[in-house]
Amino acid sequence: CQATSRPCSDACPFNFDPVCGSDGKTYGNDCQLGVASCNDPSITLKHRGQCQATTRPCPDACIQVYAPVC
């Protein structure tokens, strides 16, 4: 016997209630996250609300290296 898999449905309501996925992407609602999770089971709910940008602060100073180029 072969296991049959159901295709992932992408029919979701248009209500905006953002959730953050474990992949760092913001999804419009739980349903949209569920579609992504259906296609990639490693994606789970990280938290409710939009994902926060994860940027590192710029360094205050550069290292002074003398490296002339000819």
Tokens read off for 69? 């180029």
Spatial separation of the C-alpha atoms in residues 36 and 43, rounded to whole Å: 7
The pLDDT assigned to 1 comes to 58
Contact 40, 8 (CB under 8 A): no
Q: Where are the chain's structural domains?
A: 19-48
The pLDDT assigned to 60 comes to 72
Spatial separation of the C-alpha atoms in residues 24 and 47, rounded to whole Å: 10
Spatial separation of the C-alpha atoms in residues 23 and 47, rounded to whole Å: 11
Contact 17, 49 (CB under 8 A): no
> Is residue 42 very low, low, confident or very high in pLDDT (cuts 50, 70, 90)?
very high
> Is residue 2 very low, low, confident or very high in pLDDT (cuts 50, 70, 90)?
low
